[in-house]
Structure 1
Amino acid sequence: MLICNFVSVLLGVSVAIAIRSGKPPSDNCGMLRGNSTERRYNLQILGTDYENSPVVLFPLGKWDVVWLVNHPEELKLYTRNRFQLMEDIKSEKMFKRFTNQTWRSDLCAVIVDFDGLNLRQMFVEPAVKLALQNINDLQLLIDFISYGVVVNANHVAHQLLNIAKPLASSLMERVEIHGTNSRRWIPQLLKKIPRSQLPLNLGGFKDFKPIATCDQI
């Protein structure tokens, strides 16, 4: 997911036209591509768990929602891609894009990593609303999520999750929430997902490569 000012006015116009036409140039995840690297709002399809379900990582702690709500064009692109992602998961298109994979496409496992989330995000009301919407989106996909694991939940993340509970009660029942002590939650994560399917910061290997990185901007 790429962000910010486009390289030229012409490119900006072409992206705007693509959004309106519904036929944007897309990456291998079906996401409309922007042309700035100032901020990143990506998710990753890591691999599979022990049940052969795809594992999707949402590094929400690194998504600068304050910056995003202050950049309308990038927010529009992000919103479009977020909607497309949800539709593709519901229709099972998302995981079928990767034809060399033999995983099941009807259910996925979700990891939400809050590493990097700070108190600044909680002082801007539109940013809080967007952060809550990101969590609510997962609630709307509850029928397609086998389970979820939240890691690196600091006090700010816990505040956000508490606010989100009324919106995402069914999701919360299916999610394990872990704090910032990786020595505690990595062993729990490895009971669900093989080490070979995880990056180093989640208990995997240094040379790990995800199946796909999907840029929402």
Structure 2
Amino acid sequence: MAPLAVDLSDDQRFALMKLRRNVADSKKPEHDDHYLLRWLRARNFDVDAAEKMLRESWQWREQWEVESLQTWEPPEVIQKYYPSGLSGFDKEGSPVVVVPFAGLDMWGMMHSVRKSDFIRNTIKMLETYLRIAGEQVKQHGQQASKVVLVVDMENFNLRQYAWRPAGELVVVILQMYEANYPEILKAAYIINVSKVFFIAFNIVKNFLKEYTLSKIQIYKNNPAKWKPVLLNQIPADQLPAYYGGTMTDPDGDPKCPSKVKPGGKVPKSMYYKKPENTVNSEKFTTVVVKKGDKLKIPFLVAEENTLLKWEFRSENHDIKFGILCTDMDGKETEAVPLQRVTSQQMDEIGMITCQGPATYTVIFDNSYSIMRNKTVHYSVGLFSPEEAKVEDTDLQEG
């Protein structure tokens, strides 16, 4: 085997040799040392942890039949309305993927395709870009093995992700990415962000590893700042003119929709079901809040006068409960002061009117207990301003 063209310490080389030996029973010819190093770096060269992560990922690939996704055709709505595309390659040969994020209609998508198909499409895209990167490596070397991402957040709509099913799906995809695609991101440029973006990002970053976060650069809506940065890494002829390059479609469109699909609002004619009242259909979730620990549940509130409603009970013992509000500037206030409640005796029920855009974090706090874990059954949800009016009227009449 040819020597690795990377700098490794003696301990790291020993870890690589050990992992190579440990997984020899299952690894495929394409699982070379560069591949194994991705998993070792993701686990700080802890061989046992890297092997566990790798084997779990191989099992995950079997469950999702990843190898056969190359021939799988996504549903029509995804093909037409999922925004993204390969614009070209950076100066070292790495694939450059552009995502006009505001073109993603999550509400329409989730009422037109199954959640599993949305995830399957994400996997297929990741596999496609990695396969392209693999081809680039043959010509440009290992510096082309990772992906460059440009995410345009212009006109970002926070309200879509305040809808809990959409937010939960984003979290599932992030967790899937971190567990199964370590060390594939070369750089991520998130451009044209507004203040409301940071409300969502403050939640999202909790599900990203430090390595991933270190690759992300965020720029406000100031092309004079981010265009030179993009062009420093990406040749002008590999980037749409709208983002500072020289590429245009044959008709002169600077966004190059023939390469980078813009997405758009999914027509209701493509919906497979009527919108559901997701709050009223929620069931109680049961959790164990360990002694000395807290459970924090964040909610994105996009609109003024959104109603946050809760109901919970604890088993045998009381627990502290409160709600923290974080506004666009990062200022925190107590929407509901944290205090002990005797929810083991009677269900605790309440609601507050929220001011948005902001993040409201529901907290079950068991940090004061050094002896007992606490079992809590809870249902917490958001109502739109229109639903809030109905809910508030029902509460007053009750």
For residues 131-154 of structure 1, give each alpha carbon's deviation from its aligned partner in whole angstroms, at most 9, with x where no partner exists: 344555554534111111111122
Partner of 1:152: 192
Structure 1 position 212, deviation (Å): 5.2
Of 123, 127, 142, the residue aligned with 1:83 is: 123
Residues 237 and 246, structure 2, Cα contact 8 Å, conserved in 1? yes
Give the conservation status (yes or no) of the 8 Å contact 2:133–2:147.
no
Q: Is there any run of 5+ residues in structure 1 with no aligned partner, and where?
A: 1-18
Superposed CA RMSD in Å reads: 3.6
1-side partners of 2:93 and 2:126: how far apart?
21
Higher relative contact order (CA 8 A, sep 6+): 1
Question: Is 1:180–2:218 an aligned residue pair?
Answer: no
Which amino acid letter does the alignment assign opposite residue 131 of structure 2? K
Q: Which residue type is aligned with residue 114 of structure 1?
A: M
CA distance 1:112–1:37, change in 2 (3 Å) = closer
1:174-198: CA deviations, max 9, x gaps? 1111111222211121111121111
Query: In 2 relative to 1, CA 110–166 (structure 1 residues): closer, same or farther, beyond 3 Å?
Result: same
SS of 2:148's partner is strand
Residue 165 of structure 1 pairs with residue 205 of structure 2: yes
Q: Distance in 1 between matches of 2:175 and 2:102?
A: 16
Contact 1:135 1:168 in 2 (8 A): yes
Could you tell me which amino acid in structure 2 is paired with residue 64 of structure 1?
D
Contact 1:136 1:164 in 2 (8 A): no
Counterpart in 1 of 2:111?
Answer: 70
Does the aligned pair in 1 maintain the 2:100–2:262 contact within 8 Å? no
Does the 8 A contact of 2:85 with 2:99 survive in 1? yes
Measure, in 1, the Cα distance between the counterparts of 2:99 and 2:177.
10
**Which residue pairs with 1:111 in the alignment?**
150
% identical equivalent positions: 22
Tell me, yes or no, if the aligned pair for 1:45 and 1:211 is still in contact at 8 Å: no
Q: CA deviation at 1:205?
A: 2.2
Higher helix share: 1
| 2:85 equivalent among 39, 44, 48 | 44
TM-score scaled by length of structure 1: 0.69
- Give ranges in structure 2 of 5+ residues lacking alignment: 1-63, 250-255, 267-398
Higher relative strand content:
2
1:165 CA displacement: 1.4
Q: TM-score, normalised by structure 2?
A: 0.41
From the CA coordinates, give the structure whose radius of gyration is larger: 2
SS in structure 1 of the partner of residue 206 of structure 2: coil
Please tell me whether residue 93 in structure 1 is matched to residue 134 in structure 2.
no
C-alpha separation in 2, matches of 1:48 and 1:32: 25
Q: Is the 8 A contact 1:39 1:64 kept in 2?
A: no
